[in-house]
Amino acid sequence: MQPRDIFRPKTPDVHIMPHGQQKSKSSKATLPILLWIALGATLAAIVGFTVQTHCQTYQNQIQEVISLMQQGKTATAADLANNYLASKNVCSEAEVSLASIAYDAGMQELYKHPELKGQDAVNQWQELEAKADLHKVPKASRSPMTVFTYSYNSGIWDLAKAAFIEAWRQGLIGPQDRVAISKYYSTNFNLAYTLLDKASPEEQRALQVMATAAAISRAYEMPQGEAKHYLETRFGKDQTSWPQSDENDLVLYKVTS
């Protein structure tokens, strides 16, 4: 790449000396001018090198990953998007696009596995959130209420519970959202019932979650009574003999504090 001809130095004024010698008035300025020209050439070379190594838009690769998503190959799509993200010369816009696809593909793959136990699903969600934050994926495109809805429909109760609490913490829902709270009650009851039904070693946790479901139903005056019925059948109607509910649950704490 050739340097632009920004200016052309004027021809120095020349005076005839008595003994036929010539002396330029601009002789002192000649060296600085040459230095500027040399600097310009250097910058031009740098610019040319930069243009040759410009960032990659990955348009074809993004379309490839989207196609995999449309085919339901979410695990492959997530892996491929993450591989492209590992490139050091990906353009910023392409980086966000690839990271968004990687997040969506990862979450869609997660919803396919209701067999994930306990904190495993929650940990995977949090890892995907951390990667999305790293690549500046807008939070508006990954609402915890969306995670709650999908995980609820998939029967991943631990993830649904964690996502609902996060949405509550962010102020996306509150005590006035009775329909959503009703689903949160069901989330707790289903989680507890699933753990107890499988003779899980986490029986104490399961009973606490069941007691929390009963406490939410009572605090919000809900018609649902499955959790209460279970506890009455197992421990009697004296609620002082029931397992302790989770007093740190934000949904329960908000309405009882």
61 inside domain: yes
Q: Which residue matches tokens 């610019």?
A: 47
| Strand residues in the chain grouped as ranges (E) | 14-16, 22-24
Please tell me whether residues 61 and 125 are part of one structural domain. Answer: yes
Total domains, the chain: 2
Closest CA to 213 of 189, 181, 232: 189
Q: Where is pLDDT greater, at 38 or 118?
A: 118
Q: Is residue 46 part of a domain?
A: no
- In a domain, residue 132? The reply is yes
Residue 56 exposed, middle or buried by CB count within 10 Å (0-12, 13-18, 19+): middle
Quote the pLDDT of residue 256: 52
- pLDDT tens sequence across 174-232: 999 999 999 999 999 999 999 997 666 789 999 999 999 999 999 999 999 999 999 99
207 lies in the same domain as 136: no
Does the residue 196 lie in any domain? yes
Per-residue pLDDT tens over the stretch 104-162: 999 999 999 998 878 899 999 999 999 999 999 999 999 999 999 999 999 999 999 99
Domain extent, residue 152, equals 144-257
Prediction pTM value: 0.76
> Do residue 189 and residue 117 come from a single domain?
no
Does a structural domain hold residue 3? no
Q: Which residues of 225-243 are buried (b: 16+ CB within 10 A; e: fewer)?
A: ebbbebbeeeeeeeeeebb
CB within 8 Å of 75: residues ≥ 6 apart: 105, 109
* Domain termination residue (choose one: 73, 108, 142): 142
C-alpha to C-alpha distance for 38 and 28, rounded to whole angstroms = 17
Q: Are residues 248 and 163 in the same domain?
A: yes
Cα dihedral 186, 190, 193, 198 in deg (nearest 10): 180
**Whether residue 169 sits in one domain with residue 132:** no
Q: Which among 111, 127, 142 is the end of a domain?
A: 142
Give yes or no: residues 168 and 224 share one domain: yes
Q: Does the pLDDT of residue 34 top 50, yes or no?
A: no
Residue 69 and residue 131 share a domain: yes
- CB-based contacts of 29, cutoff 8 Å, min separation 6: none
Q: Which of 210, 215, 179 is nearest to 192 (CA)?
A: 210
Q: How far out from the chain centre does Cα 51 lie?
A: 31
Residues 106 and 211 in one domain: no
**Do 196 and 233 reside in the same domain of the chain?**
yes
